[in-house]
Structure 1
Amino acid sequence: MSRPQEPPRPFFSFGNPFKMISSKGSQLSPKLLPLLNAFEETLAERMRKLNPVNKADVLSLSWMKLAMDSISETYIDIKTLITKLELPVCDWDDKWIDVYFDISMKLLDICIAFNSELSRLNQGHLYLKCALHNLESTSLQQFAKARSSFDGWGKHINTKNPKLNNCRTILDSLVESLDLPKVKNSAKGKILMRAMYGVKVEIVFVYSVFAAIFSGAVERLFHLNVAETYLWAQAFKDLQTSVNGEIRNASSGGRPVVLKELEAVDAVVKRLYPEVQEGVASDHTVIQSSVTELRMAAEKFSTGLDLLTKEVDGFFEIVLSGRDALLSNLRAEGGKVELKLAGNVRQTVW
């Protein structure tokens, strides 16, 4: 996964998104309104599915995979909506294009940070594999090697990832960008901006949850206020209240936020650690029972990381392909906008 190279684009913050579809200006036709309603109802259903029956599941790799899959589907939906609106790039306001490229670059940047953290966690799994290999023996010397691997695991897993440091700043700017450009005399443009608002709310929410879980810092969470005018508003409020509340509960008393799969592995490691000290005679049957438990927990942890990594990579490719498609259209249609972007097109696409 690599970030497309492009000089920073200007950041824009426009208007009030809650006023974008009003009684003034262009009205939505009977043909356009169903498109908007279908998009928002689908988004609402996705948000309901993300609200787990067991709130503790929020701190699991399986829920994070589901969340990443959800924003990928929503992002694809916005591309499909643009096609159904028959809104060619030549009709796009320059401000919309600027906003799209600015936001999509931020999404790619955070994907790279998340991918880095997933890779770091996967590297920690190597210590577990080495420990498990040594614990297959009854030799005290091999037990000493296993303990050394456990030491490496503990040190590695508690190391902070500096690549996560910029996530908060990027998320702050994404929240600011929720105020989208005002649209005048374009019913299709109003639908596009309203739909983009829904996409960004879901993505900012999911990204902030990921940042909180990966960093172990509850202050990374956002609380977003959404107007009741959106068909997905209540589903989002319920989801945000449930997920953020569970994460805050998990961090009560100053405890760090920890993934369930990681916590399960670490609990077995801490139980095994004193049993594998060099020179200590232990009950081999008891040790092997814990080793079996560790092997199962480590496998679940590793599999969850792999599946989530694929989802993050998939979302990265979806966002990148959308940028490439827009750049290709701009290049094909020519004109003032293409000239403004021409210096970056080759670097970004290739």
Structure 2
Amino acid sequence: MSLPHDGHRSFFPFGNPFRMILPKGSYLSPKLLALLNSFEETLAESLRKLKPKDKMDVLSLSWMRLAVESLCETHKDIKSLITDLQFPVSDWDEKWIDMYLDNSVKLLDICISFSSELSQLNQGQLLLQCVLHILDFSKDFPSLENLVRARSSLHDWMLQIKSRNRKLDSFSDALHALTGTCHFAKVKNSAKGRVLMQAMYGVEVKTIFVCSVFMSAFSGSNKHLMDLHVSEKFLWSEAFNDLQFYVNGEIKRQFVHGSVTVVKELEAVNICVEQLYATSDGVGCDGEENLQKSILSLAESAEGFTQGLDLLSKQVECFFQIVLSGRDALLCNLRLSNLKQENNVEELVV
């Protein structure tokens, strides 16, 4: 996707932070400029913190949890900015309200798809727990019957991982619809409106980036990975471009090398499952040691995956509630504003 890009060059290497990206002749008071700068600097710092120190940590469950947690904080920041601007919803342009409400619905759909995918992965863990129970070495060496049952469950797990969750279709549709509305809207005759739109643009770009990365991870394909282009005149653009280049590049590299999934812990479990599946094929007593090692490896990787999955699921639920509460707050303010206007009209009539 290509976002608007101003080709004009300035003497500042990353854009003039005082001029920002506002149209010629526009003016922001020192207070409004300070609020906008503070928001964008906080956004830039959050993007810098999302860059993994090690490429192996790209799309680990811990990084994914951190990414959703960071989204939560950024969406809270935009709500705080609206409060600090003292910009009542009655002063909002109708198209801003429609954009916010439409985008919030898309984000809620994306969260539901996230949760569905995580739930499916969690159900897959039940198959692995069944395997570990059947192949419990603490009693006796597994019987041939138990080995056959375990291999059947392992086979089902591998098929489930390779199968595609249909809920991802709605995820993809919502993501592309959200991307289609992502642009920096220039605002006339409203300094507070310009600050709000510029801040919301930054939130949207970060949100789309994280969602596109997750879509690639869950779908097992990098075709949904987006390279967003933003103007250098934003205070957060350098941090964003650096993060996007690093993360997208590593994901593409992993897919080129034939990874079934780019989720680190899930890939580790998948490798252990394949090893155990191969080791348990016609194993005899002489293969007991290798079989036991394979079982222990699967148990360790499955435990790490389960813990990471649980923490990520809770964070996605948190993000869902933040988006939902923001939407509800706007609708409530709209109702109050309309009621106030109706009362004023009635008083004038009387």
* Fold agreement, TM-score > 0.5: yes
More moved, 76-85 vs 289-298: 289-298
Q: Which amino acid aligns with 1:22?
A: P
Q: In 1, distance between residues paired with 2:92 and 2:102?
A: 15
Equivalent in the alignment of 2:315: 311
More moved, 165-174 vs 318-327: 165-174
Q: In 2, distance between residues paired with 1:307 and 1:39?
A: 28
Equivalent in the alignment of 1:347: none
Q: In 2, distance between residues paired with 1:247 and 1:181?
A: 31
Structure 2: give runs of 5+ residues left out of the alignment.
7-19, 343-350
Check 1:181–1:335 CA distance in 2 against 1; reply closer, same or farther (3 A cut): farther
Equivalent in the alignment of 2:50: 50
Q: TM-score, normalised by structure 2?
A: 0.87
Instruction: Write the deviation string for residues 122-146 of structure 1: whole angstroms up to 9, x where unpaired.
Output: 1000000000001114131222222
Check 1:84–1:279 CA distance in 2 against 1; reply closer, same or farther (3 A cut): closer
More moved, 308-317 vs 285-294: 285-294
Q: TM-score, normalised by structure 1?
A: 0.87
Q: How far off is 1:56 after superposition?
A: 2.3
Check 1:337–1:159 CA distance in 2 against 1; reply closer, same or farther (3 A cut): farther
Q: How does 1:143-222 map to 2 (within 5 A)?
A: 143-222=147-226
Q: Which amino acid aligns with 2:142?
A: S
Equivalent in the alignment of 2:142: 139
Q: In 2, distance between residues paired with 1:253 and 1:299?
A: 26
Instruction: Write the deviation string for residues 80-123 of structure 1: whole angstroms up to 9, x where unpaired.
Output: 00000000111111111000001111111111111111100110
Equivalent in the alignment of 1:122: 122
Q: Please give the secondary structure, in 2, of the residue aligned with 1:230.
A: coil
More moved, 244-253 vs 267-276: 267-276
Check 1:271–1:294 CA distance in 2 against 1; reply closer, same or farther (3 A cut): same
1:284 aligns with 2:312: no
Check 1:322–1:288 CA distance in 2 against 1; reply closer, same or farther (3 A cut): same
- Tell whether the 8 Å contact from 1:46 to 1:70 is kept in structure 2 after alignment: yes
Q: Which amino acid aligns with 1:34?
A: A
- Tell whether the 8 Å contact from 2:23 to 2:186 is kept in structure 1 after alignment: no
Q: In 2, distance between residues paired with 1:256 and 1:270?
A: 12
Q: How far off is 1:212 after superposition?
A: 0.4
Q: How does 1:45-124 map to 2 (within 5 A)?
A: 45-124=45-124
Check 1:325–1:184 CA distance in 2 against 1; reply closer, same or farther (3 A cut): same
Q: In 1, distance between residues paired with 2:91 and 2:54?
A: 46
Q: Which amino acid aligns with 1:24?
A: G
Structure 1: give runs of 5+ residues left out of the alignment.
1-14, 339-350
Equivalent in the alignment of 1:21: 22
* Higher Cα Rg, which structure: 2
- Tell whether the 8 Å contact from 2:87 to 2:192 is kept in structure 1 after alignment: yes
Equivalent in the alignment of 1:6: none
Equivalent in the alignment of 1:346: none
More moved, 51-60 vs 225-234: 51-60
Check 1:256–1:295 CA distance in 2 against 1; reply closer, same or farther (3 A cut): closer
Q: Which amino acid aligns with 1:178?
A: C
Q: Which amino acid aligns with 1:313?
A: E
What's the RMSD between the two structures over aligned residues?
A: 2.1
1:34 aligns with 2:37: no
Q: How does 1:185-334 map to 2 (within 5 A)?
A: 185-252=189-256, 255-277=259-281, 280-334=284-338
Q: How far off is 1:259 after superposition?
A: 1.4
- Tell whether the 8 Å contact from 1:96 to 1:181 is kept in structure 2 after alignment: no
Q: In 1, distance between residues paired with 2:59 and 2:99?
A: 32
Check 1:181–1:305 CA distance in 2 against 1; reply closer, same or farther (3 A cut): same
Instruction: Write the deviation string for residues 24-72 of structure 1: whole angstroms up to 9, x where unpaired.
Output: 24x1111111111110001001111111111221131111111111111
- Tell whether the 8 Å contact from 2:260 to 2:267 is kept in structure 1 after alignment: no
Q: How far off is 1:188 after superposition?
A: 0.7
Q: How far off is 1:268 after superposition?
A: 1.4
Q: Please give the secondary structure, in 1, of the residue aligned with 2:28.
A: coil
Q: In 1, distance between residues paired with 2:169 and 2:134?
A: 36
